Amino acid sequence: MAYKISDDCISCGVCASNCPVSAITEGDGKFVIDADSCIDCGACAENCPVSAPSQE
């Protein structure tokens, strides 16, 4: 189950810099996770200061 970033995202980029497979990119107003690339490791959720990433 891929992670998804909620609207709580503050666009700080911490999630993207911690993603081991580069599945996270900056979207319009928040970062987004490519579900096909996400390996469900949880690094994004562990490092996010506002807990925006969660499993769908």
Residue 53 has pLDDT above 90, yes or no: yes
End-to-end CA distance of the chain: 6
pTM: 0.91
Structural domain boundaries of the chain? 3-55
| pLDDT for 14 | 98
Q: Residue 1 has what pLDDT?
A: 83
Please write the tens of the pLDDT for every residue from 4-46: 999 999 999 999 999 999 999 999 999 999 999 999 999 999 9
Topology of the domain comprising 3-55:
Alpha-Beta Plaits (3.30.70)
